[in-house]
Amino acid sequence: MINLTIKQWSMNSLKLKFKKNGLPYHLVQRNEVVALYGVGGTFTEKVLHYEVCCIKIRNDQYGIREALPSNEEFGRDESRAIMKYEEALDYFHELTSATRIDVGALNDVKSGMDNSEVDPEATEEGLSPPI
């Protein structure tokens, strides 16, 4: 069993800029569960549309890392491509709220607890890193 504190545990985060399918991606905004990227075209860096994506955590040959959905996963996990920035930003906030609720509900179900409460005596050293 690996015993790491939150301070010791680290992973590779999403990149600020990268190319996927030959298109330039630029991170606009993110939090712990959702990322909003501006996506350019084949011959331009200018943002042509936005992608709001659920952030995945992968553990593979590249180590523990954050990742975006694959082409096959995109859309099936609530990630979306949106043309207008304002609509993309609204969806970013909507998906963030929905994902946080889903994660909280999932954690309650897995733990067998109906309502989660924080133990005031719990310390950071006693917490396990998220998987």
Question: Which position has the higher pLDDT, 44 or 83?
Answer: 83
Please give the structure tokens belonging to residue 10: 């680290």
pLDDT band at 102 (very low <50, low <70, confident <90, very high): low
Task: Evaluate if residue 114 carries a pLDDT over 70.
Answer: no
* Whole-angstrom distance, CA of residue 72 vs CA of residue 53: 13
Residue listed under structure tokens 């309650």: 108
pLDDT of residue 45: 85
Give the mean pLDDT of the chain: 78
Alpha helices (H) along the chain: 85-111
Residue listed under structure tokens 């553990």: 59
Residue 115 to residues 47, 124, 127, 128, 131, Cα–Cα distance (Å): 43, 21, 19, 20, 21
Q: Give the domain ranges of the chain.
A: 17-111
Residue listed under structure tokens 């331009």: 44
Question: Which position has the higher pLDDT, 4 or 11?
Answer: 11
Where is 59: in which H helix or E strand?
A: strand 56-60
pLDDT of residue 22: 94
Please give the structure tokens belonging to residue 75: 């859309």
pLDDT of residue 84: 98
- The pTM of the whole model exceeds 0.75: no
